[in-house]
Amino acid sequence: MERTFIAIKPDGVQRGLISEIIARFERKGFKLVAIKLVTPTKSFAQKHYHDLKERPFFDGLCDFLSSGPVLAMVWEGEGVIKYGRKLIGATDPQKSEPGTIRGDLAVVVGRNIIHGSDGPETAKDEINLWFKPEEVTSYTSNQEKWLYGEN
Ligand code: GTP
Ligand code: MG
């Protein structure tokens, strides 16, 4: 089953939005398979955002991501990479639709509270960067037959 890497950034953690954000993914029907609270080093943040290294905001972004605890998670479900990004909303909260996480809960692009992998390759790379294989669980939830049907 498809998996994606989702992280609540230091602003989301500090603002007490962990339960609100997890609830939105859970209620949709996605399954949490890995979770930990970590404060990344700046060089780890630079690895995570390596594809943005030429952007003018890169240094500030990496300082920010490493400024406090981040809630790192892996979520599983059919279409979770693309739909997870839909739940999150557009990068700039001024442009995110109401009803999305950033649309409802954030105001500016530099403090947009959550990260989600943008495709299958980055999902795989980011899960491997943030988690050891033994930290990612695999289990069947009782809900699955009701979420997906049996045939
Ligand atoms: P992530 O899920 O965090 O990767 O966001 P994204 O995929 O919606 O956007 P992108 O990967 O292009 O940018 C990564 C992060 O850099 C964003 O979430 C923002 O926090 C930050 N960022 C992007 N564009 C800008 C910008 O123009 N100014 C500032 N200050 N930050 C930006
Ligand atoms: Mg991105």
Q: Which residue has 């809960």 as its token pair?
A: 105
Chain-centroid distance of CA 78 in Å reads: 16
Choice from 21, 64, 109 to test ligand 1 binding pocket (greatest atom count within 8 A of CB): 109
| CA 135 to centroid of ligand 2, rounded, Å | 23
Nearest residue by C-alpha to atom 10 in ligand 1: 91
Whether 115 is catalytic is yes
pLDDT of amino acid 151: 63
What letters, b where the CB count within 10 A reaches 16 and e where it falls short, cover 133-145? Answer: eeebeeeeeeeee
Rounded to whole angstroms, the Cα distance separating 127 from 107 reads 27
pLDDT of the chain, 151 residues: tens digit per residue: 999 999 999 999 999 999 999 999 999 999 999 999 999 999 999 999 999 999 999 999 999 999 999 999 999 999 999 999 999 999 999 999 999 999 999 999 999 999 999 999 999 999 999 999 999 999 999 999 999 998 6
Contact 66, 45 (CB under 8 A): yes
> Of 97, 96, 91, 95, which is closest to residue 109 (Cα–Cα)?
91
Distances 105 to 7, 12, 55, 119, 130 between C-alpha atoms, Å = 15, 9, 25, 24, 25
Question: Taking the CA of residue 74 as centre, how many other CA atoms within 13 Å lie in the half-sphere pointing to its CB?
Answer: 24
> Which of 88, 115, 127, 130 is the catalytic position?
115
CA distances from 127 to 43, 55, 56, 113, 139 (A): 17, 23, 26, 19, 17
State pTM to two decimals.
0.96
Q: Which of 8, 91, 94, 111 to mutate to test the pocket of ligand 1 (most atoms within 8 A of CB)?
A: 91
